[in-house]
Amino acid sequence: MSVQGDIAAALVTSLQAVTWTATADAVTVETKNFPQYDIEDLVNPLICITDGSIESERIARSSHMRDYAVEIYLARHTPEEADCDVMLEMLEELLGYLEDHNWPGITWPTGVTSPQTIVVEKNPGDALQERNVWRAGIVVTFKVPRSH
């Protein structure tokens, strides 16, 4: 599998093992290449992980630094305002797990450590706000050195 695919798989495995404190509801964590969900799929919180961009930068004559971006979508149908508050708490909890990068028993690709950057966009313009869907798009970038 590719480094980026291995990162996504490790994130899925890691987040599936989490006991979430922000919600007592079952949380689905999965990976998809082309995620599409109906509102019925979002009764409980959903975390979908997919590959993002790859950027390569030369750092020396015989080495590069690759930035592997992984996109994480956190979503839920939120018919009540209180549901939105729970999702915001869950987002904060998810960010903590990503920043800490403390996943006992999970094998990560060689050279992958904690994320370099995490960018969050909550309820972007194409979110289904008229249907009360709360969504956060999260881009997590891991820097991985490559010598050749």
By three-state DSSP, how is residue 115 classified? coil
Alpha-carbon distances of 70 from 39, 81, 144, 146, rounded to whole Å: 24, 29, 13, 18
Place of tokens 């904060």: 92
Rg (CA), the chain: 16
Q: Cβ distance 118 to 97 under 8 Å?
A: no
* pLDDT at position 114: 87
What residues pair up with 122 in beta bridges, in sequence order? 136
* Its pTM surpasses 0.75: yes
User: Backbone phi, then psi, for 117, in 5-degree steps?
Assistant: -140, 150
- What's the confidence (pLDDT) of residue 127? 56
Per-residue pLDDT of the chain (148 residues), as tens digits, is 699 999 999 999 999 999 999 999 999 999 999 999 988 899 999 999 999 999 999 988 899 999 999 999 999 998 888 998 999 999 999 999 999 888 888 888 888 888 999 999 987 565 555 678 889 999 999 998 888 8
Identify the H or E element spanning 98. Answer: helix 81-100
pLDDT at 143: 92
What contacts 81, CB < 8 A, 6 or more positions away? none
Residue 19 tokens, joined: 């006991």
| Nearest-angstrom CA–CA distance, 41 and 72 | 17
> Residue 78 in contact with residue 87, Cβ under 8 Å?
yes
CA–centroid distance for 23 within its chain? 17
In this predicted model, what pLDDT tens digit does every residue of 22-52 receive, in sequence order? 999 999 999 999 999 988 899 999 999 999 9
CA dihedral 85, 13, 33, 23 (to 10 degrees): -10
